[in-house]
Chain A
Amino acid sequence: DAEIDLKKIINSALIVPIELEMGLPADIISTVEFNHTGELLATGDKGGRVVIFQREQESKNQVHRRGEYNVYSTFQSHEPEFDYLKSLEIEEKINKIRWLPQQNAAYFLLSTNDKTVKLWKVSERDKRPEGYNLKDEEGRLRDPATITTLRVPVLRPMDLMVEATPRRVFANAHTYHINSISVNSDYETYMSADDLRINLWNFEITNQSFNIVDIKPANMEELTEVITAAEFHPHHCNTFVYSSSKGTIRLCDMRASALCDRHTKFFEEPEDPSNRSFFSEIISSISDVKFSHSGRYIMTRDYLTVKVWDLNMENRPIETYQVHDYLRSKLCSLYENDCIFDKFECVWNGSDSVIMTGSYNNFFRMFDRNTKRDVTLEASRENSKPRAILKPRKVCVGGKRRKDEISVDSLDFSKKILHTAWHPSENIIAVAATNNLYIFQDKVN
């Protein structure tokens, strides 16, 4: 694939933001994910709904305008539940969606809330059987005496209908809140991770799962660390990683033992003594971990940075990118208003040359790993007209503020971009800004 030049996206690009309200009242988007071909884009929201967008076929007449994404299917994945034992309501919010690779005409995805994972089948129906012998047009049974001929129903075309059906429900395996799910490269198993445990499932078996990681201390008073994210290696079905609230990543090999309590590799960067503060641990807590498509690197997101690690080097990351370092002097306020606990995700582009993550004020950032250039863009209705090129933004830290810059103190911390997605092979990105979804793509010249 050609190396992706950031400049192309910003300067020569035709940006097409597609904003969609997620229903009335608009729900906060909680997860965004392209499928393996990029044909479909799924979003999950706080109300337990999944909305799937499909890219329309490219028209030969409009070569300069690539396919847009339109709503393909909407369904209610999870409902609020009540746990009678603990007297608690279980939120229906969709924490994660992960697609399975397509193996037949239907699409399959996993969606999860805090406690239950579900496998959904999304399939099309464009034919309907007609001409039943025993029933009349309205479905009423005919008097058998009036039936004189034998007729076999035939399939006739109908308006396309997309239906989503739950095929499996994987429940009652997590005491704590599920933060991650990851489909294995064997396409037969997947894992679900909560604060203290990771379970391995077979897609066909819903009443049983294997516990492969358990960091719960025998005495809960000794709890000091939780699991924050987990993911399978893209090619090696025995390997996975999980991150912690202490800023560490553990790589485990399931062949080593049934319970992967001992890691094969342990990734941790030594603390920078000059940056030490009361909040060091909180800002080191990893909110997302993603393997590169190649499987050679992992990327982690903590509060202020994105780090790229080489699997062969455990003692420090090979690259560190500052997302919004101007917040370092504001940590106390951010602790006070709980923003310091926000969990940002991060994504790779298809060729692993550019990484993207969100920030505040509806800003999101891209870093080109090769040229070391970075850009800040904004997902906002007011500041971007349809088909207008996105303008780079800049935050000014102190002193004189230039014309188009925004000062740190003017940032809106309620507008946070936590979830983004990058098309597997093209320069199309999906950015969730609270209850709006933006899709940006670069122009084909």
Chain B
Amino acid sequence: MLPPPFPDWLWMLSKGLKRKREEEEEKEPLAVDAWWLDPGHAAVAQAPQAVASSSLFDLSVLKLHHSLQQSEPDLRHLVLVVNTLRRIQASMAPAAALPPVPSPPAAPSVADNLLASSDAALSASMASLLEDLSHIEGLSQAPQPLADEGPPGRSIGGAAPSLGALDLLGPATGCLLDDGLEGLFEDIDTSMYDNELWAPASEGLKPVPEDGPGKEEAPELDEAELDYLMDVLVGTQALERPPGPGR
């Protein structure tokens, strides 16, 4: 069993959202729901420990939230608080009773909140923040989310890192995927790509039908043009690491 990717887990906790099992109850903004204080719950049977754990849990979540709101969080502090939070949570959850992470079906409402939120501080979970740091550092992974990106709002885990990369490129490119690839070229003059200098680039693509020089050709050329434009925007021609699936 893999540990939960903690953007989902932490993000939900820090926003005070319920776990999946408590979905039907009312949402309290910014208050961490203490399901573990529910007397019916097995973990709460050991009352004093659970109460102590829960207040520590609240405290840790607050610390994490506060840390994430810093413009440049202290990485050591952040890592130690997160690891402590994991320990507390592990001790509160009976072995197999809880799902480690709310599964994606619960995510869409959260994802909508996430994507709709314009507050930069609130919208950065730890993973996206750290992804930002790594993107800014190397400027070489920016194309990767484009390869991995699915439909927007698929899940927080997928969306958060991509958001970081897209933010880097500028707000306009946030629309890149909504409009589809063709939308990128609506107002770009592509006549410069029609000369023979670009023949080598298009040789690697699927063969272009002879009798469809216009629109039908455009999709194949778009990929090469897209790659080239991405490189130009990012300012580098070479990638440190080739974009790969997942990891």
Q: Which residues of A contact B (CB under 8 A)?
A: 85-89, 175-177, 195-196, 216, 218-221, 223-226, 228, 245, 278-279, 281-282, 285, 332, 335-336, 338, 341
Contacts and interface: CB of A to CB of B under 8 A. Distances in A.
B72 A86 contact: yes
Given A278-B87, A336-B59, A220 B80 contact: no
Contact of B56 (A85, A175, A196, A278): A278
Contacts of B84: 278-279, 281-282, 335
Given A281-B80, A336-B59, A88 B127 contact: no
B173 interface: no
Contact of A285 (B6, B80, B88, B126): B80
B75 interface: yes
B136 interface: yes
A221 B5 contact: yes
B87 A223 contact: no
B166 to A, nearest CB: 16
A53 B203 CA distance: 70
B77 interface: yes
Contacts of B7: 221
B130 interface: yes
A175 B83 CA distance: 22
Given A220-B133, A226-B79, A87 B127 contact: no
A291 B83 CA distance: 29
A220 B91 contact: no
A365 B118 CA distance: 50
Nearest to B74: A177
B75 A177 contact: yes
Contacts of A282: 80, 84
For the complex, would chain B's binding face be called helix, strand, loop or mixed by DSSP majority? helix
A228 B76 contact: yes
B71 A226 contact: no
B137 interface: yes
A216 B72 CA distance: 17
A250 to B, nearest CB: 16
Contacts of A335: 56, 59, 84
Interface residues of B, number: 31
Contacts of A88: 71-72
A251 B72 CA distance: 30
B88 A278 contact: yes
A-side interface mostly:
loop
Chain A CB count within 10 A is highest, among B53, B63, B88, for B63
A113 to B, nearest CB: 13
Residue among A89, A223, A224, A338 with max Cβ neighbours from chain B (10 Å): A223
B202 interface: no
Contact of A219 (B72, B82, B133, B247): B247
Given A216-B134, A224-B82, A245-B79, 17 more contacts: A177-B75, A195-B76, A218-B241, A218-B247, A220-B134, A221-B6, A221-B126, A224-B79, A224-B83, A225-B79, A226-B76, A278-B53, A281-B84, A282-B80, A285-B76, A332-B56, A341-B80
A337 to B, nearest CB: 11
A197 to B, nearest CB: 10
27 contacts: A85-B136, A86-B72, A88-B72, A89-B71, A176-B133, A195-B76, A218-B241, A220-B127, A220-B130, A220-B133, A221-B6, A221-B7, A223-B75, A225-B79, A226-B76, A278-B53, A278-B56, A278-B87, A281-B80, A281-B84, A281-B87, A282-B80, A282-B84, A285-B76, A335-B56, A336-B59, A341-B76
B131 A220 contact: yes
Contacts of B131: 220
Nearest first, the 9 closest Cβ-Cβ pairs linking A and B are A220-B130, A195-B75, A175-B137, A221-B127, A226-B76, A88-B71, A282-B80, A88-B72, A221-B5
B5 A226 contact: no
Interface in B138-180: none
B75 A226 contact: yes
Interface string B50-85: 000100100100010000000110111101101110
Contacts of A196: 75
Contacts of A224: 79, 82-83
Given A220-B127, A281-B84, A341-B80, A176 B71 contact: no
Nearest to B6: A221
B130 A221 contact: yes
A341 B74 CA distance: 11
A332 B75 CA distance: 21
B77 A341 contact: yes
- Most chain B beta-carbon neighbours within 10 Å: one of A216, A278, A279: A278
A245 B76 contact: yes
Given A86-B136, A195-B76, A281 B5 contact: no
Nearest to B87: A278
A289 B241 CA distance: 34
A338 B59 CA distance: 11
B156 to A, nearest CB: 11
A122 B141 CA distance: 43
A175 B79 contact: no
A335 B56 CA distance: 9
B133 A278 contact: no
B55 to A, nearest CB: 9
